[in-house]
Every structure is written in C-alpha cells, then in structure tokens.
Amino acid sequence: MTTNQLLQILFYIFCLLLVAPILGKYMADIYTGKRNFAVRLLSPFEKFIYKLAGINAEQEMNWKVYAKNLIIFNLIGIGAVFMLQILQRHLPLNPNGLHNVSWDLALNTAVSFVTNTDWQAYSGENTLSYLTQMLGLCVQNFLSAATGMAVLLALIRGLKRAENPLIGNFWSDITKTVIYILLPLSLFLSVALVSQGVVQTFKANAQTFTVEDSSPRQIPLGPAASQIAIKQLGTNGGGYYGANSAHPLENPTPLSNFLEMFSILLLPAACVFMFGFMTGAPKHSAVILMVMLFLFICGIGLSLYAENSAAHKLGVSAAMEGKETRFGVVNSVLWSVSTTAASNGSVNAMHSSLSPLAGGVALFNMLTGEVIFGGIGCGLYGMLVFVILTVFICGLLVGRTPQYFCKKIEKREVQMSVLVILLPALCILFGSSVALVSHSLRSYIFSSGPHGFSEVIYAFASAAGNNGSAFGGLNANNVFYNLALSAAMFIGRFGIIVPCLAIAGGLSAKKRMAQSVSDFRTDDMLFAVLLLGIVIIFGVLTYFPALMLGPGLETLLNI
C-alpha cells in the first residue's frame, strides 16, 4: 500500500468520525423533542402533514400496533411501486417511450426498494420511466430508510423505559426522520452532486455522434442527482443507471466519488452516537462503534492485501480489470467494503472482478447480518441483537442473571434474537441450495467453479441482508430469481423488524432492576472483545461451508 492510498483511507475515516458525532447529537435532539433551528423552521410542515393525514402524533403504540402499522404501510408501498411499473407506458414523464415492466421483475423491484435492498435485475435508464424512478423508487428510498430508523427508535425507547408497554408512534417517527434528517441532507448532497456534473433534468435522452461512424448514440438523461443523493444517504444503493456509481453521469469526479462514498456510512455511524446520547450511555455506544470500526478496518486491510497480492502475481502494479480506473484500486476497495458493511449496495466497480479474498470480505460483511455500521437504524438494531446475545451468554458463564440497561434478559428476548439470526440464514442457504441443485437453474450462472458458487451465495446474501449489490455473472432477471430473491428480501427485512419490535415491547414493559457493582459491564474493552467474538462466530460458523466452497476454495486455487 502506498502512502497516498493510506492517506485516502485515513482521511475518509477521519471525516466520518468528525461529522458523525455532530449529526448524531442533532438527531438525538430531534427525537427527544429538543427545539433547535430545524424544528423552528420545519415544525409547521410536520404539523401540516399530521393534520392532512389525520395522525395524532402524541398517541403512542404498543409493539404489536407499531408493527401492524409498519407492515401495512410497507405493503401499500409495494403495491404502489408495482403498479407504477406495470402501467408506466400509459403514465406521464416517460419521454423515451419505455414499455411496461414484466410482472415478476416489477414485483422484485417493488419489494427491493420498499425493503431498503434496492436489488436491481434491470438497467434503470433502459427500463424505468422518469415518473417510476421519482415517484416509485426515490420516494421509497426515503420511506424505507425512515422505517429502519423508526424500529431503532422503538428499541431505544424499550431500553430506556420501564413498566410501560408503549414504544412510540410509528407515523411520527418516520415523519420526523424524513423531514428533519433525510430531506435536508439529500437536498444539500443533490446540489453538491449537480455542481460536479451529475445529471438532473426532465429532458429526453440526448443524441450524439462519434468520430468512428455516423450512427447516433443515446446519452441517457433524467432526474438522477436527486435519487443518487438519497440512495447513498438512506443506505439504499439503487443506481439511476445500470452501472450504478461506475457510470460517469452518476459519479463524474473524484469529489463526487468521495461525497457519495462518505454518505454511505454517515448516517449509520451517526446512529451509534445518537444511541449514546438518547440512552445516556456514551461509553457503551463507544464500545459498539469500536467493534464496528475494527471489523471495517480489518475488511479494508484484508481486501487491499488481496488486491495487491493479485497484482503481484500478474506482474502489474494494480489489477484494474473491473475496477474504477478513474479513481484507482483503493477507492474501489474502500467502496466495496463500505457498501457491504452498510447494507448500501451501491458500487463503483464490478465486485465479481475483486480478487477472491476481497470478494469474500464483501460477502462476509453481508453474512454478519449487515451490522458493521449497517443500514440506517437496521444496522444498529441488528448489532443490539448481538449485544443482547453477548450479555445473555456472559451472564450464563458467570452465573448471574443477564441484565441489559438494568432489564433482565430472559427467554423471550433470547428467542427473538435467535430468530433474527436464523431467518436470514434460512433464506440464504435454502435459496442458494435450490438454485445450485437444479440443473435448469444452474444455466443462469455464467461462471464455472467456485466463483459461480460465490455468485449464487452472494445474490441470496445480498437479498436477505437487504444490501442489493451483486457479483455479476448471474442472470437474475427471470421468474425464479425474481420471486426467490423477493421472498428473501421480504423475510430478511420484516422477519428481523418484527422480532426487534417484540424485544422493544418486552423490555419496555419490564421492571428496572437495581444496579450492582457486580453486574456485567458493557462499556469496557472486555465486552468489546466478547461482542466482536459473538459477531464473528455467528457470521463465520453459520456460513463456514459456503465461505470455504466459494471464496475460500477460489483463493486456494489461485495461490
């Protein structure tokens, strides 16, 4: 690794740790009702939305009502995005005359964007109209991110409250998230991206001619910058163009590349600081952040080592095939680790072209449950599930009743936590097994050997982990993959959310126990090591055979 590459990585992490605490404090103030400049400016708009929708923002819900409202709201979103796609030929803002989308692809895309996955089995500029991109996909980029944040807020209230079964108001939580956090940040980032040359227009595709022949070439246009901003900030990841952030009109300059990459981890990191401010446990949140950062930095280091080793074997300075040639290997690697650690899924390089070990790091990040920062809200509430399991296991080892925030961790919390881990694993392993066993389904895999195996595992891991990135080399636009991955995305999202809300409701109704000096601490280095061990054990042992048959075997074959 050169000094320049090291400085780029350190600058990225420095900026993240500089801005995230400030944003985290601002978010905590918003959700705890403290007045600031944003509240004074935007609260009339918030109240107008409540009045228009007939919402009583002060009426709180128990976890079952909260979950019911959340699921119904998201099911309506799936239906709306589905209808926009299958009717888009007859709707306005379709200057390029794109046809309706097939029912299976439309369902896959609708589930994908509502679940914050943004898996794309299509090329955006050739498949979806401007209206579908804006009213369907871009709107869900906001709402799916806000849904994840709402679940985290419910869990935080469950930890803080005692003998109170209510965990907040779902409608109020998503409204505050959109109005005070996502909209202002997206507006700022959109303007910054437009200044760098990212497209934002309603004009039809432009035509140009090359010096080689007189045939016209299409330059795809559209309202891209507004969608790209929220795709990164909301850890959505779905590109306006099929090439995602490797497309020069979606990511034209080094500054746009840094801004987009920085936005991937900004809000997930800020959520950790927000958690510390809202719970009054900054040391505990620092331990969680330390574990996330350690896994993130290890992933970067291992990926860069693998890429440099591959280049050395090829006798070149850098293995550039499939990488972002404008910005260098280090930016491709940093992006690949960031986007899979944060359940974002956007790419500025082809992940299938990563060295086997670097591709394995991206896969491992998703298999841990997307808790190395993770998505907005969902990354931290996934990590809190690991915290609960760590507290429970340590309590058993020392012979004391496990407690977390002075609440007993009992059978119900452990059952729900195990369910959170098992459901995605079931989707990934069962779905991959079906795809690999069937002779007809194997014809959709374009690569042979362990790499082809990795492509299938990666696809189901990306879907169940609500990431959305892909290895490539897999024909996923067919009825089987569209339906199978839709099921994996839906279960991977709501099969996690419902148990987390059940944990929140159960903890909120519990009595607070008296704190003792002999209680197991969750704010020291010992707990950080134990939490790290639990994350790695569940991430590695659950999928160890798959990791060895895919990236592991391919690495050994390339030695």
For residue 408, the 8-state DSSP code is E
Q: What is the pLDDT of residue 111?
A: 97
The more confident residue out of 446 and 217 is 446
The more confident residue out of 104 and 307 is 104
Mean pLDDT of 29-44: 92
Looking at the chain, the whole-number percentage of residues with pLDDT higher than 70 is 99
Q: What is the pLDDT of residue 540?
A: 74
Q: What span, in angstroms and rounded, lies between the C-alpha atoms of 230 and 238?
A: 10
Please report where in the chains the tokens 């910005």 appear, as a residue: 327
- Count how many residues are written for the chain: 559
Here the tokens at position 510 are 């519990």
Q: What is the pLDDT of residue 319?
A: 75
Mean pLDDT of 345-367: 91
pLDDT digits (tens, 9 = 90+) for 382-420: 999 999 999 999 888 877 788 899 899 999 999 999 999
Nearest to 464, CA basis, from 411, 420, 419, 428: 428
Number of H helices, E strands in the chain: 22, 4
Q: What is the pLDDT of residue 340?
A: 95
Other CB atoms within a 10 A radius of the CB of residue 518 amount to 7
Here the tokens at position 39 are 């509240």
In Å, how far are 158, 190, 298, 543 from 372, measured between CA atoms? 23, 26, 11, 17
* Residues sharing a CB contact under 8 Å with residue 501, sequence separation 6 or more, in sequence order: 63, 66, 67, 70, 151, 154, 155, 167
Mean pLDDT of 329-357: 91
CA 319 distance to own-chain centroid? 28
Residues 360 and 555: beta-carbon distance below 8 Å: yes
3-state secondary structure (DSSP) of residue 58: coil
For residue 245, the 8-state DSSP code is G
Q: What is the pLDDT of residue 458?
A: 94
Q: What span, in angstroms and rounded, lies between the C-alpha atoms of 56 and 171?
A: 9
Residues 212 and 97: beta-carbon distance below 8 Å: no
Nearest to 460, CA basis, from 438, 488, 434, 440: 488
Furthest CA-CA distance within the chain: 81
**Worst-scoring range by mean pLDDT, 48-52, 116-120, 211-215, 449-453?**
211-215
Other CB atoms within a 10 A radius of the CB of residue 323 amount to 23
pLDDT digits (tens, 9 = 90+) for 94-113: 999 999 999 999 999 999 99
Here the tokens at position 83 are 């209808």
Mean pLDDT of 191-200: 95
If phi over 0 gives left and psi between -120 and 50 gives alpha, with beta otherwise, what is residue 33?
Answer: left
pLDDT at 541 over 90: no
Q: Give per-residue burial for 66-103: e unless 16+ CB within 10 Å, then b.
A: bbebbeebbeebbeebbebbbebeebeebeeebeebbe
For residue 208, the 8-state DSSP code is E
Task: Give 426's pLDDT tier (boundaries 50, 70, 90).
Answer: very high
Task: Give 218's pLDDT tier (boundaries 50, 70, 90).
Answer: confident
Other CB atoms within a 10 A radius of the CB of residue 41 amount to 11
For residue 178, the 8-state DSSP code is I
Q: What is the pLDDT of residue 4?
A: 80
Q: What span, in angstroms and rounded, lies between the C-alpha atoms of 256 and 188?
A: 13
Q: Specify the amino acid at residue 417.
A: S
CA angle 414, 151, 263 (to 5 degrees): 120
The segment with the largest mean pLDDT, out of 35-44, 121-130, 211-220, 253-262, is 253-262
pLDDT at 311 over 80: no
Here the tokens at position 246 are 């490797």
* Residues sharing a CB contact under 8 Å with residue 293, sequence separation 6 or more, in sequence order: 13
Q: What is the pLDDT of residue 317?
A: 64
The per-residue pLDDT of the chain, averaged, comes to: 92
Q: Give per-residue burial for 400-426: e unless 16+ CB within 10 Å, then b.
A: eebbbbebebeeebbebbebbbebbbe
Mean pLDDT of 75-99: 95
The segment with the largest mean pLDDT, out of 10-24, 315-329, 400-414, 513-527, is 10-24
Q: What is the pLDDT of residue 413?
A: 94
**DSSP result, 190-201:** HHHHHHTT--B-
Residues 213 and 328: beta-carbon distance below 8 Å: no
Please report where in the chains the tokens 């978010």 appear, as a residue: 27
Task: Give 177's pLDDT tier (boundaries 50, 70, 90).
Answer: very high
pLDDT at 516 over 80: no
Rg (Cα) of the chain, in Å, rounded? 23
pTM above 0.85, yes or no: yes
Q: Hey, CA dihedral for 309, 314, 316, 322, is it positive or negative?
A: negative
Q: Specify the amino acid at residue 379.
A: G
Helical ranges in 199-355 per DSSP H:
224-233, 254-279, 282-314, 329-341
For the chain, the distance separating the N- and C-terminal CA atoms, rounded to the nearest angstrom, is 20
Task: Give 518's pLDDT tier (boundaries 50, 70, 90).
Answer: low
**DSSP result, 155-197:** HHHHHH--S--B---HHHHHHHIIIIIIHHHHHHHHHHHHHTT
Helix or strand (DSSP H, E) at 404:
strand 403-404
Mean pLDDT of 456-470: 94
Nearest to 61, CA basis, from 508, 545, 539, 524: 508
Q: What is the pLDDT of residue 517?
A: 63
